[in-house]
Amino acid sequence: DAGVTQSPTHLIKTRGQQVTLRCSPKSGHDTVSWYQQALGQGPQFIFQYYEEEERQRGNFPDRFSGHQFPNYSSELNVNALLLGDSALYLCASSVLQGWETEAFFGQGTRLTVV
Amino acid sequence: DAKTTQPPSMDCAEGRAANLPCNHSTISGNEYVYWYRQIHSQGPQYIIHGLKNNETNEMASLIITEDRKSSTLILPHATLRDTAVYYCIVRVGETSGSRLTFGEGTQLTVNP
C-alpha cells in the first residue's frame, strides 16, 4: 500500500504565478483534504473533496481552488501567488461512509514563492 | 471544536517516559481527545484518541482526567525517533475525520 502520495515534493514559483499540486489518496480512500502549514505553525485546513465536489472549506481566499477526479485523486490550485503562500502543503485522505474515518497524511509539497 | 493548550516544548531522556500534557477545559460531552504527531517535514501521524476512559495502543497511552478538562499522552520508553511536534486536538466524533484543527503543539525533543 503506497499510502498518500503527493507531487512534486518541492517547488519554487515566482510571485503572481499559478501552481498546481497533486495528491493520490491511500488505496480505498474516497475523501481528500488539503492543509497549508506555514513554518513553525500547525497545519491549517483549506478544503475537503468528496464525490468530486468541495464538501467543506476553511478560511482561505478564492485564489485557492481544487478538483477531485473520478479515481479520487485531487489537485490543489493556487492563483496569483503571494510570498505568504510559501508553506508546506499537506494532503490527507480518509473514507466517508456515513461517518468519516481517521485521516492519513502525505509527506507534503514544499512550495517556495520568490 | 474545543480549544486546547499545550506547552510549546519539552525534553525527555532516551528510554524514559515522556508525559505530554494538554488542557481542554471547555471540552463538551461529545468531544473526543485526539493526539497526532509530526516528525520534521513529514505529514502528521495519528497516535491515539479517547473519550473518557484511559486508552493504550502500541504507540502510547492516553490518560484523561475524570472531569475531562485535561489529558496526558504517555510515551512509555521514548526513543530518538519520537522527537516530533505533538498535537492535542479535541473534536466531535469517534473518528477524527480529515478536518482537524491543529494548534501549535508541543515540540518534544528526546535526548541521548
pLDDT at A100: 65
Tell me if B46 and A92 make a contact (CB, 8 A cut-off). Answer: no
For an interface test with A, the pick among B98, B100, B104 (most A C-beta atoms closer than 10 Å) comes out as B98
Tell whether the model's pLDDT for residue B92 goes beyond 90.
no
Contact between B59 and B36 under an 8 Å Cβ cutoff? The reply is no
- Give the minimum alpha-carbon distance from B95 to chain A in angstroms, rounded to a whole number: 5
The secondary structure of residue B81, as a DSSP letter, is G
Q: Any residues with CB less than 8 A from the CB of B25 and at least 6 apart, and which?
A: B69, B70
For residue B105, the chain A residue with the least C-alpha distance is: A42
Query: Which of B43, B85, B94 lies nearest to residue A106, judging by beta carbons?
Result: B43
Contact between A103 and A93 under an 8 Å Cβ cutoff? The reply is yes
Tell whether the model's pLDDT for residue B76 goes beyond 70.
yes
- A/B interface, count of CB pairs below 8 Å: 64
Number of Cβ atoms within 10 Å of the Cβ of A39: 7
Tell me if A103 and B94 make a contact (CB, 8 A cut-off). Answer: no
pLDDT tens by residue, A70-102? 999 999 999 999 999 999 999 999 888 766 677
DSSP string, B18-49: EEEEEE-TT--TTEEEEEEEE-TTS--EEEEE
Give the rounded percent of residues in chain A with a pLDDT score beyond 70: 96
Work out the end-to-end distance of chain B between its first and last CA atoms, rounded to an integer number of angstroms: 37
Number of Cβ atoms within 10 Å of the Cβ of B59: 15
Q: Is A31 on the interface with B (CB under 8 A)?
A: yes
What are the backbone dihedrals phi and psi of residue A28, each rounded to the nearest 5 degrees, phi first? 90, -10
Q: How confident is the model at residue B87 (pLDDT cuts 50, 70, 90)?
A: very high
Provide mean pLDDT across the span B49-61. Answer: 93
Tell me if A42 and B43 make a contact (CB, 8 A cut-off). Answer: no
What is the Cα–Cα distance from B66 to B84, expressed in whole angstroms? 28
Give the rounded percent of residues in chain A with a pLDDT score beyond 90: 83
Query: Which of B43, B99, B103 lies nearest to residue A42, judging by beta carbons?
Result: B103
Provide mean pLDDT across the span A42-59. Answer: 93
DSSP string, A28-89: T--EEEEEEE-TTS--EEEEEEETTEEEEE-S--TTEEEEE-TTS-EEEEE-S--GGG-EEE
- Give the minimum alpha-carbon distance from B88 to chain A in angstroms, rounded to a whole number: 11
pLDDT tens by residue, B8-35? 999 999 999 999 999 999 998 888 899 9
